[in-house]
Structure formats: C-alpha cells, structure tokens
Structure 1
Amino acid sequence: MDNKIVEVFIPGPAGRMEAKYYKSDKITSPIALVLQPHPQYGGTMNNKVVVDTFHTFMENQFSVCRVNFRGVGKSDGEFDNGQGELADAAAALDWLERENFDNSQCWVSGFSFGSLIAMQLLMRRPEINRFIAISPQPNVYDFSFLSPCPTSGLMIYGKKDELVPLEYIVDLDKKLSAQKGIKVDFQAVNDANHFFKNTEDNLMKNLDKYIKKESALF
C-alpha cells in the first residue's frame, strides 16, 4: 500500500506546498486532510502522530493528504502565526477535492497546533462532515469560535498531557456537549502525554474505531 503514497506539490497562497498523497481505489472514496503540529516547535507532516493518522485513514479506504505548511520542509513561504497556515489548509483541501470530485465524505484532522487549524477550517467549509482533533490546546488557543460547532467529531487527548491542564479540556467538552444536533466525542488515552509517546498504538486504535463507526453512517 505504501508504494501508492506519492509526493505532490500543491499550489498555495505562499507558493507551492509539499504534500504526501494517497488515492484510494474505492470509487467515491471519502477524503481526509491531516494537518501538522506547530512549525516553530519542529512540527512537520512527517511527525509520527500525523503519519500514523494518515495511514489509519488509508487503511479505511480514504483518499488522504498530509501537507507541510508554508516554510516547512520543501514548502515555500514562512510561518504566519496561523492565518497563513489556515489559508494553506484551505488550498490543500481545494486540491484534494479537485482530485476526488466524487468523494462521499470530507474529513479534516490535525494534531496539536494542526487541530486548531483543522477546527478553523471546519468553520469555513460546510462540506466537512467529520473532524478529528488530536491533543487540542484550549489553554493556548481560544476555541470559542466553535459556537456552534457545525459538525460532529472526535477530540482525543492524553490523560497525562503535560502542556494542557485537564480543566481546559473539561471546560471545552461542557461547552460543546451543550450544543444540540451534534456529538463531539471526547476521549482520553491513559498514560499518554501531549505527543502520545509510547502510546501511539492506543491512539490509533481509538482513531480507527471512530473512523470505522462514523464513516459507515454516510
């Protein structure tokens, strides 16, 4: 399966963006975009959690893309404090949709800083059906823009996340669970830190289960 992952360059607002892409053989396959952690802390699309998430979507017959934001790897441009990165994510989604115009579902996923960008993209793109936010940081970034959150999704975090005090996650869960008509699942991975060091397998089992359950609904 791996030999079908190709390197592509996507036209973005700051120049070309380096990406990895896998196209499913399944007709009208669902699509997913996976977003990287913070570029200024060494985040790239080759981060282990990002790569494992990409593979989990692949194994569930999604056409899936992961992308380096501007200034990362071979991507043109330079870091833009989230604004430019959101524009990059939107351009990557445009490209993915053009490649899979007959897609049956559209998912967006991101890890850490990438989860913030994924959720901001979700607010702007009504075609997104589901999201997976891995290690969101509501203590660092304001997630109050998710009112209302337009679609159901998964927020998954480590029980021992050293960067995010648990009360911030609990508070976000309360806010989102009060909304009618959508269901945001909050799942904790025991013994996991922010980066899921040594607990990636448990993380991926949870993701796989969620993707299987939710993609079957469409």
Structure 2
Amino acid sequence: MPEVIFNGPDGRLEGRYHHIEDENAPIALILHPHPQFGGNMNHKLVYNLFQMFKARGFAVLRFNFRGVGRSQGEFDQGIGELSDAASALDWMQQIKPDAQACWIAGYSFGAWIGMQLLMRRPEVEGFISVSPPASMFDFSFLAPCPSSGLIVHGTDDDVVPEADVQKLVDKLKSQKGIVIDYEKIDGASHFYETGLTDVDQISGQYVDRRRAESMAG
C-alpha cells in the first residue's frame, strides 16, 4: 500500500494508493471525517472502506485533506477540502484514464464532501455515504442527485440524528433516474464503537450488487 504525495490546490497532499495493473480496473476515492475533530485517512472506518474496494479489484486512494498529517495547507471549512478531493480524483484519473467505473465513498464530513464532488463529476457512477452530517451541513445542492448510491447511518447517532438523515434520503428517493439504498445500523453511534463490521458487510454487498448489475447491463 504505497504512500503517495500528489499536488493539491494548496500544496502537497498525502495519500495511500492501491494500484491495479489492469488499465480498465475501476477506481474508488475514500474521504475521511472532519479534520478538526481528529479525522484522517487512517480512521478505521475509512481504512475498512479502502480495503473493501481493494478486495473487489478497484484501484483505491485514500488521502489526508489539507492540514492533516503530512498534507500541506490549513482547514478551509469544506471549500478547500472539496478542491482537494477533486485534485485526488484528477490524480487517479491520470493514472487510470481508462477506468471502467468511478466510485466515491466518504464518512461523516467526508460524505458531505463526496456528495458535493458527485455534482461536479458526471463520471462518478456510485457512492457510499456513511453517517452524512445532514443536521450540520446543507445538502440542498443534491438537486438532483446525479447517481445512485448507498447511505448508511447508526440508529443511536447522537451527533447527527437519524431522523435528519431519513429526511435527506426521502428527498433523494423522490428524484427520478436514481436509486438510493438506505441501511440503518441498530445501536451504532456516529463513531461506530460498535457496528463497524456491519458497515463493511453492507458496503461490500452493495458494491457487489451494483457491479453485477453493470456487468449484466
């Protein structure tokens, strides 16, 4: 799992990249939680998502937003972090210009950034958003949401109430042309002291099903 350093809009960004030799291998970008609350690319849930995509033959990148770890720059309220994520996707696409598919996965703050990136990048065909902070950030930019995806949330989340995520899901589900899967993990908090294996299992099964459908189609 080689360490990589690539250029972001505000200096160098630090990441971990799993390369696949197959030119057509799909790519996935994993985005970490809030930098000001200890979020980084080595968070267990982020690492697990990385491993899940890796096990399914994806070339995968997880990286530290600006100001985290060895990434240069300072926290920028999500504006600069969205630019960082776009640069990370650019970097992957330079290595894998012929990737057959492109996915984004994010946890908490990373889910908010990832869903904004969806709006800018029509090539993204699937997303996984774990505990999107629907009570803290505005998600009205998803009008309409451009691709189908999976949202996962804990029933005992006391940072982002599940009811707020349900409202977001209901809004997205009313849009034509996409399908939003919503999975609630019983007893899980925002920090997943329990329920990590459930996130792994649900995410992996979802990617397997979507990939099988795309192969069949």
- TM-score class, shorter: over 0.9
Cα offsets for 1:87-141 (capped at 9, x unmatched): 0000000001111111000001110000000000000011111111011011001
Alignment of 1:188-203 (within 5 A): 188-203=184-199
Contact 2:32-2:39 at 8 Å conserved across structures:
yes
Contact 2:25-2:100 at 8 Å conserved across structures:
yes
Look up the match of 1:72: 68
1:59 maps to amino acid: A
Look up the match of 1:87: 83
1:6 to 2, 22, 25: 2
Mapped partners of 2:173, 2:93: distance in 1: 30
Cα shift at 1:160 = 1.0
Contact 2:29-2:62 at 8 Å conserved across structures:
yes
2:100 to 93, 101, 104: 104
Contact 2:23-2:96 at 8 Å conserved across structures:
no
Look up the match of 2:165: 169
Contact 1:196-1:203 at 8 Å conserved across structures:
no
Instruction: Give every structure 1 segment of 4 or more consecutive aligned residues whose post-TM-superposition deviation is greater than 2 Å.
Output: 24-27
Contact 1:123-1:149 at 8 Å conserved across structures:
yes
Contact 1:132-1:155 at 8 Å conserved across structures:
yes
Residues 1:57 and 2:53 are matched in the alignment: yes
Of 182-191 and 80-89, more deviation after overlay is shown by 182-191
1:130 to 113, 126, 130: 126
2:115 to 116, 119, 122: 119
2:91 maps to amino acid: W
Mapped partners of 2:134, 2:198: distance in 1: 23
Mapped partners of 1:154, 1:185: distance in 2: 5
Residues 1:148 and 2:139 are matched in the alignment: no
Number of residues of Structure 1 aligned to a counterpart in Structure 2: 214
Contact 1:86-1:117 at 8 Å conserved across structures:
yes
Residues 1:20 and 2:16 are matched in the alignment: yes
1:30 to 19, 22, 26: 26
Residues 1:179 and 2:146 are matched in the alignment: no
Q: Where in structure 2 are there 5+ consecutive unaligned residues?
A: none
Cα offsets for 1:160-215 (capped at 9, x unmatched): 11111122112111111111110011111112111211221111000100011112
Mapped partners of 2:19, 2:76: distance in 1: 30
Q: Sequence identity of aligned pairs in percent?
A: 46
